[in-house]
Amino acid sequence: MGNSVSRYDRHTLLNVIGESGQSRIESARVLVTGQGALGSLISILLARAGVGFIRIVDRDFPEIHNLHRQILYDECDVANGLSKVEAGQRHLARSASNIRIEAIDAEIGPHNIDALIDSIDVVVDAVDNTTTRYVVNDSILSRGIPYVFGGAVETAGNVMTIIPGMTPCLRCLWPDPCEVSGHQKASTVGVLSSIATLVASIQVTETIKLLVGDFANLIPGLLTIDVWRNHYQVVHLSRGPECICARIRKSNFVTSE
């Protein structure tokens, strides 16, 4: 492959990344939980940014009704019956053969989350249900790994970056699992493709800030967006005193800087 300086020239030129930041990106290991609408763009942007190791996890197959927003796949993938992670790995490798992509065809749950986040620097959320998010949330808290939550439904979306021991977690945001079960889903109310890609793009930005060590510029709370109604707001949250995250030590990721 050509040298990485020229390949990533437009990133290394940025004051906020530079050559040292790009070097950190290239040595990073990131887990993307899910390869649907959010996971598609997250994986594409992280791979093209040069993240050295990306683990992608999903258990579904691309379907024709996915293609309007799941931009990692095409009609051939649907016709060939490839799994999302297999098709995704092939597409990502064509645009970034210099990095390593590990495809895991599995549903994320308590049985495998510890193995999935092993040796990972940052976890990026791209699942479509909050039950799985709780599993990931609890695991990253215990392991001190930053987690970039994101969600999109209808024309609205959220992003929140969680740093164990420093910021609120998903259980601070949604303390009551019963309340969460009533959240609307894209499969029933739809999702505008542009809100999914917007949320994913912001999640990738947060991930790159984490990887280059620019914690001061992370979103200071829960970002809420309605791209149709022109609503953009950051809601400041506090760690719940009774929440499991209040008892967690500061993230190894931050203290190792």
Site of interaction with Zn ion (CB under 5 A): 169, 171-172, 243, 245
* For Zn ion, the closer CB: 34 or 164: 164
CA distances for 195 relative to 152, 160, 186, 198, 216, angstroms: 6, 15, 12, 5, 25
User: 141 or 186: whose CB is closer to Zn ion?
Assistant: 141
Identify which of residues 40 and 132 has a Cβ nearer to Zn ion in the complex: 132
Residue 41 CA to residue 205 CA, distance in Å, equals 12
Residue 139 CB, nearest approach to Zn ion (Å): 13
Cα–Cα distance for residue pair 160/148, rounded to 1 Å: 6
Q: How far is the CB of 174 from Zn ion (least distance, A)?
A: 10
- Cα 143 from Cα 133, distance rounded (Å): 15
Alpha carbon distance 251, 164 (integer Å)? 5
Cβ distance to Zn ion smaller for residue 167 or 207: 167
Instruction: Work out how close the CB of 96 gets to Zn ion at its nearest, in angstroms, rounded to a whole number.
Output: 35
CB of 164 to Zn ion, least distance (A): 10
Q: How far is the CB of 239 from Zn ion (least distance, A)?
A: 6
| Residue nearer to Zn ion on the CB measure, 34 or 168 | 168
- Residue 10: how many CA atoms within 13 Å on its side-chain side? 2
51, with CB counted inside 10 A (0-12, 13-18, 19+), is: buried
Token reading at 213 = 């060590």
